[in-house]
A and B are shown apart, each in its own frame.
Chain A
Amino acid sequence: MRALAGVDLDLREGEALALLGPNGAGKTTLLELLAGVAPCPEGVITPPGGGRRAIGWVPQRPAVYPRLTARENLALFARLEGAPAGRVDDLLRSADLAGFADRPAAALSTGILQRLNLAVALAGDPAVLLLDEPTATISPDQRLAMWHWIEGLRERGMGLLFSTQSVREAAEHADRTLVLVGGRAVFAGTVPALVAEHGRPDDRGDLGDAAFLRLVGSAGSVNPR
């Protein structure tokens, strides 16, 4: 079974690229493939200078130890990455986790846990960060704080590739957007270009959503399987 086909993308330093697509489009598969978690039988992945280690991966479900505290989780992954001693405090501060540092991960709210999930991915100080729907399950205020933090990372030169089902998130936080439908890239460009290409004068409400839905509907028959 072929999950992805014909996907070609590149990411520059400090650039943010959104993977947009409905459920089952292949967004997670593409991210896992780039992260080295899923096997890549065909195609070429060229990681930034430091190799795969230079890529941080933030899975959709928080991958941390629930019985360890936030500090212990960060300390473990920082030591495994060979990070300097002060790295844990830096991460706790930048993730705004200082107030939750000594609580077990199992006791953290979904939003705080997702911040810990992201902080763990940063323990190795990666050049590129892959985020799988980082704000899908968190409350609006947490989402706002999360994007604020992610934008800060980007401003410091980190390349970002994130998946989302929200056209608005892609428009607000990405320089470019790649739309996947059925494992195939059906659009690459900015959200305004998507609206221009697939929108209609009589569209009402969110123009981006309308253009995206029309694109997905028209490309629905495209399936690399």
Chain B
Amino acid sequence: MRRPGALRTGGLLLGKDLRMLIRSPGLLLALLAYPLLVSLLVAAALQESDRRPTIALVNLDTTGRTVEVAGERRSVADYIARIAEETEVRALGPEEAARALDDGRVSAVLTIPEGFVSDLQSGLRSPEVGLTTARRSPIEAQALTRTLESAVFAFNRDLAEGYVDQVVALVDLVVNGGTIGAFGRSGEALGLIRSRELVLELQADLRARGDTATAEALQPLVAFIDTTRANLDLAAPAAEAIRSPIELAVTESGDGREPLTAFGVAAALLISLGLAGLLLGAAGLASERDDDVLARLVRGPVRAWALVAEKVVFGAVIAGALGGVLLGALMLGAGLAPGRFGWWAAALLAAGLAVAALGVLAGALARDTRSALLVALMGGVPLLALAVVPAGGLAGVAAGLTPFGPALDLFQGLLVDPALDTGRLGADLLRLAAMAVVLGALATVATARAARR
């Protein structure tokens, strides 16, 4: 008889665990309903306060000037209107805005500086709007900052498209000619193509009259027109590169008041996946001790690392699937656009593996299933809280050292960031994978010890 390889062994144990889970409706219900219930409660609580954050707007650009971009006039009012799509905006003076922020009447102060429109018009530098937040609620601050970043991004995109259209139209006018308007009058612009034709006609006429010298003297003008056209052909793609006319500077790492839908979804997802992975990992391994088969397995057909790997995969598969279902439901409920499925699958799997590995470690250290669940909950819930309520200093570092910190970053990045930062997302995935390996190695040592009597 030849024992099967680690993969086949893991598959056999995985099938056994799934079968036993299905046959334990009480345990299944508790393991799945508890994280779902908690995450839905958290989502509901966050959604409740997700009713458009109120921000104070201090507008120091009171000139009323406008800037014309691609035939459309834009002013500070347009920018404010864009911000107001996501937030309640109250126009206040600088001192009153500061007081409102202090006493909690507004979540943040957005300051539009003097010369905002002039800077926008000049195109020489990007005007900078300032966001000042309070330190009362880190959760809300993070969400509000993301909202305003999103609003600035959308406004930038509109402006950039306008600029690009304008530049392309100008290039077309210079090359092909057309009607041009200025100071209320309009006239015909010649264009490089027509100019070249006129010069060539003039040269032919001069040569016909025997004035070859003058015709030759016009040849550099033809060459100039050709060179200019060739260069202008590059202008259109160069114009496409214009992207961010406005920058948002956050002056205080702090807070706003209102968490947004996406943050609520990310937090609910983390709590649900985190608790399910932890509890399944812990219960999966500890139950082998309860059933007295741990020693029988590890002394014989199953290596400790293979058993740990199987429990980690078991917890990750169930928790990841649960997270996927919850994510779909929350996305539909919150009206978020679905997409990025490949990234989501990788994120749920990586987070599930790391969290389940932490659970398996708890299961290997505890004496029985009840103790393991207690250890997992007592250790896991504070760590989850650290991740969901971002804080600086030691607490922030601690959250980053657990799977929950990078998992939340990953979920938020996928839900909120308008453009995927693949480098950052990849780094988060690698961190989670590395944590799964390290925690799995620790769990293997603990399991080997537990199997020995």
Contacts and interface: CB of A to CB of B under 8 A. Distances in A.
A80 B4 contact: yes
B296 A83 contact: no
Nearest to A35: B299
Interface in B1-30: 1-4, 9, 12, 16, 19-20, 23-24
A99 interface: no
B129 to A, nearest CB: 61
Interface in A51-102: 52-53, 57, 59, 61-68, 72, 76-77, 79-84
Contacts of A77: 301
A124 B300 contact: yes
B421 interface: no
Contact of A65 (B12, B291, B300, B301): B291
B211 interface: no
B292 interface: yes
A152 interface: no
Given A57-B296, A80-B302, A68 B4 contact: no
A120 interface: yes
Given A37-B295, A65-B291, A67-B20, A80 B453 contact: no
Contact of B1 (A59, A62, A124): A124
Nearest to A60: B292
Contact of B453 (A37, A52, A62, A120): A37
A64 B2 CA distance: 22
A81 B1 contact: yes
Contact residues of B: prevailing secondary structure: loop
B452 interface: yes
A107 to B, nearest CB: 12
B452 A53 contact: no
A125 B1 contact: yes
Interface string B381-396: 0000000000000000
B225 to A, nearest CB: 83
A83 B2 CA distance: 8
B300 A81 contact: yes
A82 B295 contact: no
A63 B452 contact: no
Interface residues of B, number: 24
B451 interface: yes
B226 to A, nearest CB: 79
Q: Is the interface of A mostly helix, strand, loop or mixed?
A: loop
Contact of A63 (B3, B9, B19, B291): B291
B12 A80 contact: yes
Given A53-B300, A61-B292, A68-B19, A80 B1 contact: no
Contacts of B9: 80
A140 interface: no
A68 B295 contact: no
A11 B292 CA distance: 27
Interface string A21-38: 000000000001001111
A39 interface: yes
A68 B9 CA distance: 17
A63 B16 contact: no
A174 B1 CA distance: 29
A63 B299 contact: no
Contacts of A62: 292
Contacts of A82: 1-4
Interface string B151-184: 0000000000000000000000000000000000
Contacts of B300: 52-53, 57, 80-81, 124
Interface in B360-412: none
A72 B291 CA distance: 15
A69 B297 CA distance: 18
Contact of B24 (A39, A52, A67, A79): A67
A79 B293 contact: no
9 contacts: A32-B453, A59-B296, A65-B20, A68-B20, A77-B301, A79-B12, A80-B4, A82-B3, A84-B1
Across the A-B interface, the 4 shortest Cβ-Cβ residue pairs: A80-B301, A63-B292, A63-B296, A82-B3
Interface of A: 32, 35-39, 52-53, 57, 59, 61-68, 72, 76-77, 79-84, 104, 120, 124-125
